[in-house]
Amino acid sequence: MSDPAFDAQSPVVAPLRPAEALAGLAAAAAIFLGFMTLLNLNLTINGVHLDFRPIRVGVPAVALAILAAWIGGRHSRLSAFAVFFAGACWIAGMAIAVVYTKPLF
């Protein structure tokens, strides 16, 4: 009698390669940075001033998403979404900054 925990028909899941893990993290970071580009925040905390302006944050977000897509691997759908999301947020952030006369970089 065979062991019910082991099924010969089940697919074997290969362990995650370090490059695939890096691609997933880079895609998630690009999505976060794209969202921050869209918000165009201007923060000051205890005298430390942070600007999330469209060119300063949006271009690295798109570059990080393209890097994640180039690495590929198991997270290819996530990195493809990150490329389109970061690009769309960058374009929308630039348009919002122009309409409300905020600095672009």
pLDDT digits (tens, 9 = 90+) for 8-48: 666 667 777 899 999 999 999 999 999 999 888 888 888 88
In this predicted structure, the answer to whether residue 95 has a pLDDT above a threshold of 70 is yes
- What is the pLDDT at residue 51? 83
The sign of the CA dihedral 65, 69, 71, 74 is positive
Residue 28 lies in a domain: no
> What are the φ and ψ backbone dihedral angles of 72, each rounded to 5 degrees?
70, -140
What is the domain count for the chain? 1
Residue 17 lies in a domain: no
Residue 26 lies in a domain: no
What pTM does this model have? 0.81
- Residue bearing the bigger pLDDT, 55 or 49: 55
Q: What residues contact residue 93 under an 8 Å CB cut-off, 6+ apart?
A: 37, 38, 39, 40, 54, 58
In this predicted structure, the answer to whether residue 92 has a pLDDT above a threshold of 60 is yes
Distance CA 50, CA 52 (A): 7
Residue 38 lies in a domain: yes
Residue 19 lies in a domain: no
SS3 assignment, position 74: helix
Residue 91 lies in a domain: yes
Query: For 67-88, what is the mean pLDDT?
Result: 94
Query: For 91-98, what is the mean pLDDT?
Result: 93
Residue 25 lies in a domain: no
- Domain around 87: 34-99
Residue 87 lies in a domain: yes
In this predicted structure, the answer to whether residue 82 has a pLDDT above a threshold of 60 is yes
Q: What is the pLDDT of residues 55-66, one digit of tens each?
A: 999 999 999 999
Contact 33, 60 (CB under 8 A): yes
